[in-house]
């Protein structure tokens, strides 16, 4: 018997005008299982993540997280329940130092947001926990740099650090390797694999780089024009003729 | 880092020493000028907690400044409690007004937020102007006594030098508190909102609640500034709640540099000195102020402190 799902999405829909960007998707994510959502550009992957993370309200359907209906919950509450996300286009605090980027999430998680007198820089817990996280992501040397001055690859790591700092159980990564050099991609894939193996988090990522997906995921969902086309293990997906037709055939791979 | 920090501390101590000795150093009229700079500097710094740190541009801060001014003037006229109690009550009164206005305003951002704060500011002005029974309408509230700071502390604050020192102490303490706020965990959350409120909400920050908190704190200190301003002028008038009064902290902050904690104070100083100097030649001081501001926005978008920073070889 499988354990109860971490995330359970039922018949989720989202229209933009008369256009259905997400058109009745039902899927679930099991705890501890690296899961991927693939599909060509415009398939609806990002919209799907926007629905789960509370950035957009669904037109229909429902989202259950650990058995609880979270449909329509605002992003900050969803984050605090344990779902954190990264964005396809890097989304960090440019003018803050790298360590401060992480500490924003830590302050909230440690319930210190109302502390208005003590200096943040003198808070040992904040400093140590942020330091540890940066260490794990190989960003220690950049802790005091302004995040906006970093390379594209390092900025994506900063965003991953913010995501992990919220202490999530479910991590949604929207094309985590988008715009990275092959070396950076390789490093990030290794990192995610390592985190998935050691950490308490369950990773759910979208990609359109097939090598990334098939190297990382145990379970793959394929989206096509707002609908779920197939699901299975990477091998099953690779062998699925419908998927090959609808998606893999269109890609240079 | 430490070199910069030490240099900053020395500068600050030197500045405080000059301010402490000001009544001996400067001619009599300059005591009034410096009192006004301190009060409006505090007003601008309160505004900048919202603008420079939280990323919200308010065009209606005279509402809180004016509330502080009127609460202080009315309390002194009708009840004459100790002066520090007057200031505390005025600051709290302004914070309550900020809570109500902020509750609506933080639902919006950017130009919509600015417009809404402007609209609320106009309402407060209209209220102050029209409610003749309470506020005396356009005549304002005058003829109130200046009471002792605390019971048993028989300092005559009607003496300009004493009022200057009282202002200096209160502004210095307020600036210290505001500064502590900006470097606290709470302040870090505010800065994250300025940078990227979307990312902040996806890091777990309840954005509106923090914006409202910043709004109320900003209103509180603006009210304190207003409560120092009315007794300083011996009158509270509707102009203190007018939108032109709301423009002053905006201009001062941009002049000094919104990205620097002391930018608004420097901006207040330069603004009032310029006004003093230009109005001694011409009535058209607004025209010259406009020219100077246009120049600044185009060539020095980071304000005067941004310029110093560049001279000192700081950040680009
Ligand atoms: N805010 C929006 N308004 C209108 N159309 C949108 C919006 N967001 C996405 N879409 C459309 O929905 C479809 C799915 O987009 P998206 O979810 O970004 O796909 P993917 O992430 O798979 O590339 C696209 O056709 C896109 O143009
Ligand atoms: Mg996408």
Per-residue pLDDT tens digits for B7-28: 889 999 999 999 999 999 999 9
Taking an 8 Å cut-off on Cβ atoms, the answer to whether B204 and A76 are in contact is yes
Instruction: Clarify whether residues A117 and A231 are in a common domain.
Output: no
pLDDT of residue B123: 95
ipTM comes to 0.93
Q: Which atom of ligand 1 is nearest to the CA of A44?
A: 17
- Strands of the sheet with A202-207, listed across from one edge: A83-85, A170-174, A202-207, A35-38, A219-224, A227-232
pTM for the complete prediction?
Answer: 0.94
Name the residue among B42, B62, B93 with its Cα closest to residue B240: B62
Instruction: Clarify whether residues A16 and A64 are in a common domain.
Output: yes
Of A137, A167, A197, the one marking the end of a domain is A167
As a dihedral over the C-alpha atoms of residue A67, residue A72, residue A77, residue A83, rounded to 10 degrees, the angle is 60
Instruction: Clarify whether residues A162 and A136 are in a common domain.
Output: yes
Q: Residue B265 is encoded by which pair of tokens?
A: 């104070």
Quickly count: other Cβ atoms within 10 Å of residue A215's Cβ: 15
Taking an 8 Å cut-off on Cβ atoms, the answer to whether B188 and A120 are in contact is yes
> B6: phi > 0 → left, psi -120 to 50 → alpha, else beta; which?
alpha
pLDDT tens track for A69-111: 999 999 999 999 999 999 999 999 999 999 999 999 999 999 9
Instruction: Clarify whether residues A28 and A135 are in a common domain.
Output: no
Q: Count how many domains chain B has.
A: 1
Domain that holds residue A240: 1-82+169-253
Mean pLDDT, to the nearest integer, of B246-252? Answer: 95
Q: How far is the CA of B65 from the centre of ligand 2 (A)?
A: 48
Of A148, A167, A186, the one marking the end of a domain is A167
Instruction: Clarify whether residues A106 and A221 are in a common domain.
Output: no
pLDDT tens track for B54-109: 999 999 999 999 999 999 999 999 999 999 999 999 999 999 999 999 999 999 98
Q: How far is the CA of B87 from the centre of ligand 1 (A)?
A: 55
| CATH number of domain containing A227 | 3.40.50.300
Answer yes or no: is the C-beta of A45 below 6 A from any ligand 1 atom. Answer: yes
Domain that holds residue B128: 26-242
Q: What is the mean pLDDT of chain A?
A: 92
Q: Count how many domains chain A has.
A: 2
**Site from A46, A81, A88, A104 to mutate, B interface, most B CB atoms within 10 angstroms:** A104
Instruction: Clarify whether residues A207 and A239 are in a common domain.
Output: yes
Q: Is residue B55 part of a domain?
A: yes
Q: For helices B160-183 and B207-233, give the axis angle rounded to 10 degrees.
A: 170
Which ligand has the nearest atom to the CA of A18?
1
Answer yes or no: is the C-beta of A9 below 6 A from any ligand 1 atom. Answer: no
pLDDT band (50, 70, 90) for residue B313:
low
Q: What percent of chain B has pLDDT above 90?
A: 78
pLDDT band (50, 70, 90) for residue B299:
confident
Of A122, A145, A167, the one marking the end of a domain is A167
pLDDT of residue A247: 64
Q: Is residue B12 part of a domain?
A: no
Residue numbers in chain A where pLDDT is lower than 70: 1-2, 247-253
Which ligand has the nearest atom to the CA of A21?
1
Answer yes or no: is the C-beta of A47 below 6 A from any ligand 1 atom. Answer: yes
SS (H, E, C) chain A: CCCCCCEEEEEEEEEECCEEEEEEEEEEECCCCCEEEECCCCCCHHHHHHHHCCCCCCCEEEEEECCEECCCCCHHHHHHHCEEECCCCCCCCCCCEHHHHHHHHHHHHCCCCCCCCCCHHHCHHHHHHHHHHHHHCCCHHHCCCEHHHCCHHHHHHHHHHHHHHCCCCEEEEECCCCCCCHHHHHHHHHHHHHHHHHCCCEEEEEECCHHHHHHHCCEEEEEECCEEEEEECHHHHHHCHHHHHHCHHHCCC
């Amino acid at each position: 018997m499988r354990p109860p799902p971490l995330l359970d999405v039922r018949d989720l829909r989202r229209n933009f005008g008369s256009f259905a960007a997400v058109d009745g998707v039902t899927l679930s994510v099991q705890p501890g299982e690296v899961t991927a959502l693939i599909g060509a550009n415009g398939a609806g992957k990002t919209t799907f993540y926007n629905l789960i993370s509370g950035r957009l309200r669904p037109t229909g359907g429902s989202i259950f997280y650990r058995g609880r209906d979270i449909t329509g919950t605002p992003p900050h509450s969803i984050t605090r329940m344990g779902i954190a996300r990264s964005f396809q286009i890097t989304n960090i605090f440019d003018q803050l130092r790298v360590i401060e980027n992480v500490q924003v999430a830590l302050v909230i998680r440690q319930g210190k947001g109302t502390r208005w007198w003590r200096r943040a820089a003198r808070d040992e817990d904040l400093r140590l926990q942020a330091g540890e996280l940066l260490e794990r992501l190989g960003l220690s040397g950049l802790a005091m740099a302004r995040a906006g001055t970093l390379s594209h690859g390092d900025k994506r790591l900063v965003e991953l650090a913010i995501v992990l700092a919220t202490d999530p159980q479910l991590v949604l990564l929207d094309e985590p390797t988008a715009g990275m050099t092959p070396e950076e991609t390789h490093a990030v894939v290794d990192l995610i694999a390592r985190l998935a193996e050691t950490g308490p988090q369950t990773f759910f990522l979208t990609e359109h780089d097939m090598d990334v997906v098939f190297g990382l995921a145990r379970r793959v969902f394929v989206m096509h024009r707002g609908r779920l086309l197939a699901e299975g293990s990477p091998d099953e997906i690779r062998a699925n003729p419908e998927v090959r037709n609808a998606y893999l055939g269109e890609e240079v791979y | 880092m430490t070199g910069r920090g030490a240099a900053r501390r020395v500068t600050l101590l030197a500045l405080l020493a000059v301010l402490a000795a000001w009544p001996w150093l400067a001619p009599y009229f300059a005591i009034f000028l410096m009192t006004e700079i301190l009060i409006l500097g505090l007003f601008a710094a309160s505004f900048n907690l919202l603008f420079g740190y939280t990323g919200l541009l308010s065009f209606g801060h005279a509402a809180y400044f004016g509330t502080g001014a009127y609460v202080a003037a009315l309390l002194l006229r009708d009840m004459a409690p100790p002066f520090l109690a007057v200031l505390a009550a005025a600051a709290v009164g302004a914070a309550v007004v900020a809570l109500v206005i902020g509750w609506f305003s933080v639902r919006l951002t950017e130009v919509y937020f600015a417009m809404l704060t402007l609209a609320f500011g106009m309402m407060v002005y209209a209220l102050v102007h029209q409610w003749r029974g309470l506020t005396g309408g356009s005549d304002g509230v005058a003829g109130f006594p200046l009471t002792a700071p605390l019971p048993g502390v028989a300092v005559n604050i009607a003496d300009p030098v004493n009022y200057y020192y009282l202002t200096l102490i209160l502004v210095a303490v307020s600036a210290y508190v505001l500064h502590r706020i900006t470097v606290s965990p709470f302040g870090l959350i505010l800065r994250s909102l300025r940078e990227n409120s979307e990312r902040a909400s996806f890091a777990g920050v309840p954005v509106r609640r923090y914006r409202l908190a910043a709004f109320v704190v900003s209103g509180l200190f603006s009210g304190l500034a207003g409560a120092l301003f009315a007794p300083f002028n011996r009158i509270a008038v509707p102009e203190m709640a007018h939108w032109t009064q709301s423009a002053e902290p905006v201009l001062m902050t941009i002049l000094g540099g919104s990205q620097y904690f002391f930018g608004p104070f420097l901006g207040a100083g330069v603004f009032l000195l310029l006004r003093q100097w230009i109005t001694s030649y011409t009535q058209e001081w607004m025209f010259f102020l406009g020219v100077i501001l246009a120049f600044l926005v185009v060539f020095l978008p980071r304000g005067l402190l941004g310029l110093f920073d560049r001279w000192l070889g700081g950040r680009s």
